[in-house]
Chains A and B, each alone.
Chain A
Amino acid sequence: MTYLAKPKFHHPALPKNALGFTHRDYEGSISTLCAGCGHDSISSAIIQACFELNIEPHRLAKLSGIGCSSKTPDYLLGQSHGFNSVHGRMPSVLTGANLANKELIYLGVSGDGDSASIGLGQFMHCVRRAVNMLYITENNGVYGLTKGQFSATADKGSKSKSGGANNDSPLDLVGLALLIGATFVARSFSGDKGQLVPLIMAGLSHPGPAFIDIISPCVAFNNHPGSTKSFDFVRAHNEAVNRLDYMDPREPITVDYEPGSVTEVTLHDGSMLRLSKLHPEYDPHDRIGAMTYMQQRAAAGEVVTGLIYMDPAPRDMHAALNTVDVPLNRLGEKELCPGSAALEKINASLR
């Protein structure tokens, strides 16, 4: 985008969150992506979400694979540790990091090239294993860094910039996440910050495997007529099933809603999601129903967005592993080494 660094200087009137951090404290390095890239909007939504959630930046770890999307963790949360790993293998690295310290918040940032091809196995297995994280795919249906090849999420018949049509069936990451046990599943659009920010906030607060697929048009290689991942196409076919407001329990409720159109969902940390139903029949707590609905709307050519599924009883890998409450990376010799007396007993049993 720009190569002119913003001054470090903070305007004294810059709004602060409950922890005293300003928006600027959640920013990262300057983006090197193309001007107008959907990914930059997502970065800005993540920054907004963390600011509003009052997350201490150093209590979050951001991990990614390889590709345009995977570069973005460098452009946000500069005071968080980040790990730009290898192509498609962020899920295993994130799993390991989470095993080491279950107290941090884990944000996995990936793309369709990273997660739907080489990384498909790892994506599915880390969801299956119920790693507590928010996993985001910045989905543009195209390989940007290598200049415009189709990715595995490109729709069949979708046209490339050079005019060729995609012959292969698309992989639906939302459908897969529902199938293999993600306990929070959403889809959004980089061009709809109003929808995206609360979804990210809810996803970060969800104590289990949370997944958001974000359609994020590639302005350089996949934003032309004939593409199904362009700004125009997604705007025209976006079918939001609900709108979400993330409510801090400490804030007074100021907006009035039409009775009956709103459901409130209390989250584990006491905060609340206010869900405005746009489709009265859609129930985001019904996993099987969600899968059917997604298939039906996809067949009709629509891109369903919003909170697609949330399990009221999230799963977490650590519960299944029955790990101690203290993060494993804080245990020392005293807790871990059985000592010489125990070893003598073992020796005796081996004679």
Chain B
Amino acid sequence: MTAVIETRGLSKKYGGRRGKWALTDCTLSIPAGHVVGLVGPNGAGKTTLLNLATGMLAPTSGSIEVLGSRPAATAAQLARFGFVAQDTPVYTGLSVEDHLRFGAHLNPGWDAAVAHRRIDQLDLDPRQKAGQLSGGQRAQLALTLAIAKRPELLILDEPIASLDPLARREFLQVLMEATAEHEISVVMSSHLVADLERISDYLIVLVSSQVRLAGETDDLLAAHHLLTGARCTVGDLPSGLQVLSESHTERQSTFLVRSAGADASPAELGGDWSVAAIGLEDLVLAYMGRTATAGPGRIPLEVTR
């Protein structure tokens, strides 16, 4: 499988020489055919990464290729991916119908049938001005434009952050149907793991402008475990385990560990350890909680008694 997004040492700094780094040394290879969740706290660099991927921004250093070429370099390259930008901008003065004509005129691969079917399903009045749509309807319109372009890759930047729970659910449903129907790869960012958990099968955790974790969700979940046993220190753990966090009570110690390979799976640990699987949300939170100074395998930061 080829990569939909491939970055090497990708970095972006805003505001000249004394500016702030928004993304540092990001090396990623996102394979095709996934629904990728890009998660991280606000200000972690998610929007920066997606804007680099859509060619809205140019990298300060490093390189990025989307579907095998520099993003937005040519009209043909632009035709291959769809982008739903943050806050889902639409032309407030134009009607829904005008937006569809806009899509048709500006995209050679435009699928008018798909576009009109979606507008019908969403129960949108084609004559209505986009400025009068609700937040959820606007997001749906933006998504319709991106889908009817018939892209190979759909990039969405926090498309549902400002929507109410019902609109959120509907949006994700439409997105999933389209993904299944047209076999589109999806990269979608959110600061809420719960939203991504439902749809994504690949996860990237971005914290403080660095990629902390990337991989298929199932693999990531299989590689992480919670170990609970009698009170002890990190040194008492079997080798081959990377400790991400630890917590202690009077009698018990709990460690979140990542196993280096299948042979060192903590599931085979005998003795006094009880081994539990970890949920996606806890996993992401564990990575988000680690600060930039804690490199892989180091002593965790917070030890609570």
Q: Answer yes or no: do A and B interact.
A: no
Task: Show the binding face of A for B, using Cβ within 8 Å.
Answer: none
Task: Show the binding face of B for A, using Cβ within 8 Å.
Answer: none
